[in-house]
Amino acid sequence: MENKGCCRWDRKPRFTGVGFFDLASGLSITFDLLTSTDNEAAVQVLIPALDCANPAVQEGALIALLKRRTAAGGREILDRMSRMKPEWKTIIRQHRGRLTGALRDAILGTDVGLCENGCRAAVMFRDYDLIPTLLTVLDSSTQPNCNLAAQTVLELVQALCEEIAGGRDPSDRRDPQMIRRYVLGSLESSVYRYSQHKRREVIESFLLLAGRDNATLRQILGNPHHAVRVTLTDVLLKSAQRGVLRLLLKFLDDPNAPLATLTVIAARSDSRFVHYLMRKIGHEPTAAMALNLKKLTSISWLGDCRRIMDQIDDAGQHSAVRFVMASGVPRQQALGLIETILLHGKPGGRREAARALGEFQGTDANALAMSAMTDPDPQVQANVIPQLRGRGIPCVLPSLLELVESPYPVVRKAARESLVEFSFKRFVAAFDMLDEEVRRSTGLLIKKIDIQSISLLNDELKSPIRTRRLRGLAIARTIEAVEGVQSAVIEMLQDEDHLVRMEAAVTLGKSINPASVAALTGALNDKSEVVRLSAQRSLREAMQACPT
């Protein structure tokens, strides 16, 4: 076996007198022997086999070298990283950890190319056990591969975060949470050595894995003089990593959130962060969030809110309104966001902005309210309508009366609710004290505003109290509602009181149709002369109005 020339992996199988040599079986036996033998020369036999034209030989040699875990074999595998086939990567993943020693040697070595291959392989095969080794490299001022090691640490931690979030290979039995605790411990130690290595990648990696209640993190954030605090808060301020953004925003739920985190939240103005912030706020801030938001007296992105809001979706703009209303920023700044969304936002944002506008007073807010009345979204109009009369805007009442006849039900409903004093019940109570012209103008208005008018008028006509029935008939004529209560009026032609029957005959004359004509014709035979005369006049008026 020490004679290297005797092993030719590309040699074709020979025909013997006994039969064909079973190549698969022969290779298996050969590789089993080369794997298990104590003879180190086996490695020198396996290395050339990595470049054999036969894929089965290549893969057999690769598996054997992985199982032997020799430094020479590991280096040879790493040398082929740039041209490694997918099949090899699968094999190495299946034998995870058997290349760790070779990768560790490559990372700790001074050969830049070999170290680069080692780092690439560590990330490719997610060898998290190498993170402490990579952190060791950072502590050495003479190591030429510090930049590469720092970047590799960050890439490995990012890969681990993906696994923790659910992007895990089902065949991988490792527990990502256990790995997280192991890696986090190494990173915490490296964070304390920051003054030695000055690597932001370590701080960012630590923040990706640390929880809100991590003792090291709380200690740093709580001490303004901590050596790492300036860098850590700067990473919180500038990192675009999803895990860092989520960690930062988790402090909004913390009743004892460090002031440093709230300062960073207020200072960040990148659209990616604002997007995550709005998702965190959701439809309405929680009680804990609201307490922390009230501490934010300055929000950097409010000065450029148009650009930010253009990149935020419907729900996000809604959240932005709730966010600024819960914050402690000056009301004029908050109104600036409300104005931007109300004039340029998406429907969901405009609706919430219109609702929030009710908390602002003054000429600017009044102008925005009137502008919102022309919004193409009916719900925006409906959200502004309840505010109008309380603003003291001149001539707003005619506008509201027009909206009572809006083609949109939600607008009509809001307009009616804002004119609550124009109710049929109040009209009935005051009816006897009003002169004829006021009765008519007010009654017609109320019929349009109060959708219960006809129903309540029917109740009056069916009242057991004579005066109420008579007043009901007078109201029906005044507000031109006879057609809507015609059935009740026809029944009143049978009333025991002849005055009620007479008024019913007069009232039916205001709504001529076959049913009312038939009822009036029947009333010509009433026992009371005044009823008969009233029925005759109503029929005559009907004939004059409709000569055909």
* pLDDT tens digits, 112-157: 888 888 888 888 888 899 999 999 999 887 788 899 999 999 999 9
- For 298-314, the pLDDT digits (tens) are 999 998 999 999 999 99
At 80, is the secondary structure helix, strand, or coil? coil
**Cα–Cα distance, 339 to 369 (Å, whole number):** 10
CATH of the domain at 480: 1.25.10.10
Asked if residues 346 and 313 have their Cβ atoms less than 8 Å apart, the reply is: yes
The length of the chain, given as a count of residues: 548
Domain end residue (candidates: 417, 446, 462): 417
- Say if 411 falls within a structural domain: yes
Burial (Cβ within 10 Å: 0-12, 13-18, ≥19) of residue 545: exposed
Tokens of 288: 């804990």
The set of residues, in sequence order, having a beta carbon less than 8 Å from that of 149 and lying 6+ positions away, is 107, 115, 119, 134, 135, 137, 138, 143
pLDDT band at 247 (very low <50, low <70, confident <90, very high): very high
- Say if 354 falls within a structural domain: no
pLDDT at residue number 167 = 63
Burial (Cβ within 10 Å: 0-12, 13-18, ≥19) of residue 546: exposed
- Say if 42 falls within a structural domain: no
Question: In terms of DSSP H, where are the helices of 373-497?
Answer: 378-388, 396-403, 409-418, 424-430, 436-449, 453-461, 466-478, 486-491
Q: In this model, does residue 19 exceed pLDDT 70?
A: no
**Cα–Cα distance, 56 to 463 (Å, whole number):** 101
pTM of the model: 0.74
DSSP characters for 336-357? HHHHHHHHHS-HHHHHHHHHHG
Q: In this model, does residue 271 exceed pLDDT 80?
A: yes
* Residue that the structure tokens 């938001």 belong to: 293
Residues 401 and 478 in one domain: no
- Say if 201 falls within a structural domain: no
Tokens of 466: 């004579």
Residues 405 and 469 in one domain: no
Residues 430 and 450 in one domain: yes
- Say if 24 falls within a structural domain: no
Residues 383 and 444 in one domain: no
At 152, is the secondary structure helix, strand, or coil? helix
pLDDT band at 21 (very low <50, low <70, confident <90, very high): very low
- Say if 496 falls within a structural domain: yes
Indicate the range of 173-177, 222-226, 451-455 predicted with least confidence: 173-177
Tokens of 217: 């993190």
At 221, is the secondary structure helix, strand, or coil? helix
Residues spanned by the domain of 460: 424-545
At 532, is the secondary structure helix, strand, or coil? helix
Please tell me the number of Cα atoms within 13 Å of 350 on its side-chain side.
21
pLDDT band at 22 (very low <50, low <70, confident <90, very high): low
pLDDT at residue number 44 = 77
**Cα–Cα distance, 214 to 210 (Å, whole number):** 6
Domain end residue (candidates: 372, 389, 417): 417
DSSP characters for 190-218? HHHTHHHH--HHHHHHHHHH--TT-HHHH
Q: Which of 116-120, 274-278, 444-448 has the highest mean pLDDT?
A: 274-278
Residues 403 and 435 in one domain: no
Distance of CA 479 to the CA centre of its chain: 51
Residues 496 and 459 in one domain: yes
**Cα–Cα distance, 280 to 289 (Å, whole number):** 10
**Cα–Cα distance, 503 to 487 (Å, whole number):** 15
- Say if 4 falls within a structural domain: no
At 446, is the secondary structure helix, strand, or coil? helix
Tokens of 233: 């808060």
Q: In this model, does residue 459 exceed pLDDT 90?
A: yes
Asked if residues 121 and 107 have their Cβ atoms less than 8 Å apart, the reply is: no
**Cα–Cα distance, 95 to 191 (Å, whole number):** 32
Residues 459 and 541 in one domain: yes
Residues 408 and 468 in one domain: no
The set of residues, in sequence order, having a beta carbon less than 8 Å from that of 370 and lying 6+ positions away, is 393
**Cα–Cα distance, 30 to 17 (Å, whole number):** 22
Residues 431 and 517 in one domain: yes
Tokens of 118: 């080692």
**Cα–Cα distance, 183 to 178 (Å, whole number):** 9
At 54, is the secondary structure helix, strand, or coil? coil
pLDDT at residue number 17 = 43
**Cα–Cα distance, 296 to 304 (Å, whole number):** 17
**Cα–Cα distance, 148 to 283 (Å, whole number):** 43
- Say if 439 falls within a structural domain: yes
State the total domains in the chain: 2
